[in-house]
Amino acid sequence: MKILGISCSPRKGGNTETLMVEALEGARSDGAEVELLSVAGKDIRGCDGCQACLKTGECHIDDDVQEILKAMLGANGIIFGTPIYFYGMTAQAKAIMDRTYAIGMRGAQLSNKVGGIIAVAGGVGLMDAIKDWYFYIAINHMAPASYIGAYAGERGAIKEKKREMKMAWELGRQMVQLVDSGWRFPEEFTKRGLGAYVAKKYGL
């Protein structure tokens, strides 16, 4: 079993990454193989709306998002982590979300994976990003795990928040247990979703 954590903070060693490492350690403690991917220092470009991926199943943009898409496909559970920038997720988080159009729409390839969320704000504005990631998890027919919404401003300040650090650890363990539960979205309805519409339209 593989649990992937995607930290969408451009700040290396920041609070989101710190909580993500803790969550992945929790998952590892319950027997999962874990992988951390961070956008820090990476080339993360936005979707250009060409929609060619609906036919090819691949995104043509040659940047570091490709590695993230590949890792998402290979994971059983994915934790999406983002700092709050102006009351929402970071530009990098949104770019990754949009670019998964290439792997999500065509054949529901994210279905049945477990999704968890970590969001960190300095002091205000957590909910929109958490809500957006939950809609994303739902529309992709993933199983929702808990979210962590934490407040911390300076780099590393989250380490002082023992409760949030513990919650992150437990989120990792919860991801493993949800994957183990073998939950599956009913096939009958998967076939009727947006993915099915796209597949019919393009004869896939």
Ligand X SMILES: Cc1cc2nc3c(=O)[nH]c(=O)nc-3n(C[C@H](O)[C@H](O)[C@H](O)COP(=O)(O)O)c2cc1C
For ligand X, the closer of residues 2 and 159 by Cβ is 159
Shortest spacing between CB 54 and ligand X, in angstroms: 33
- 175: Cα within 13 Å, side-chain hemisphere: 38
Q: Which residues bind ligand X (CB under 6 A)?
A: 9, 11, 14-17, 83-87, 120-125, 152-153, 155
Shortest spacing between CB 134 and ligand X, in angstroms: 19
Shortest spacing between CB 19 and ligand X, in angstroms: 8
C-beta nearest to ligand X: residue? 14
For ligand X, the closer of residues 18 and 76 by Cβ is 18
- Residues 6 or more apart whose CB falls under 8 angstroms from that of 64 comprise 39, 42, 43, 44
Residues 133, 145: contact at Cβ < 8 Å?
A: no
For ligand X, the closer of residues 20 and 75 by Cβ is 20
Angle CA(185)–CA(169)–CA(110) in degrees, nearest 5? Answer: 25
First and final C-alpha spacing in the chain: 29
| Total residue length of the chain | 204
For ligand X, the closer of residues 15 and 174 by Cβ is 15
Shortest spacing between CB 129 and ligand X, in angstroms: 10
